[in-house]
Amino acid sequence: MIPRTKSGRDLRALEDRLGYRFRKIELLEEATIHKSFMNEGRRLGVTHNNERLEFLGDTVLGLVIAEYLMMNFPKYPEGVLSKFKGRVVSEPTLAIFSRQIGVGNFLLIGKGEELTQGREKSSLLADALEAIIAAIYLDGGLDAARTFIIGHFRTLITQAVSVDSVQDYKTDLQEYCQRELETLPLYQIVGQRGPDHQKEFDVVVMIRDKPYGEGSGRSKKEAEQKAAKEALDRLARTTRDLPPSSGRKNPH
């Protein structure tokens, strides 16, 4: 039996692309209705749009991605994991994935949005995807939502944490030190060798007068990035040997 919605649509093709069969097809229906459609939708008996589902889906997506990062990348501190998570759940990333599975083709949008190519708007597509995630969560529970998210987002997660992605270890280290330790890292050139056209630099990064990472590179910037990465790795293991700043209490 073909699952029919209030708008009379057959959403099986979208279910196929999502890789999930709904028990309550009305949830998927709601997830694909933009608020701009409400005037046209009332004559079809449509009374809800996807804004509330979007609100819930944003939370479910964030939870699942955070859980996955924490369990699979234990060496990174919270600040770095937050940056990874931000890359995965960002509007551009969600919109790209939404386009890949053709969500825009299944959206009900108002005439104004249709005229301004609303089906291709990144914000609209990202919101719709979050609403779909919430619909899966409400229909099948957290396990179903987790299976969908990780199954479809694993490649995006891998790209977000790969060395080839735009990774700025110096910024990560600075943000971590400011937030958690109320101090800033200090980079010192401790050595350089080779001719001027092929010089190599050795750098040490200091945190509260203690060396926390070393790095070498063909430029000062490269050496500092390597030193910052080593410092982040060390901080991920322990921060107990760091003395408290003047404005922080000693940890118990």
Catalogue the active-site residues: 58, 130
Q: Is the dihedral of CA 211, 213, 218, 221 positive or negative?
A: negative
One-letter amino acid of 114: E
Round to whole Å and give the CA distance between 200 and 213.
Answer: 17
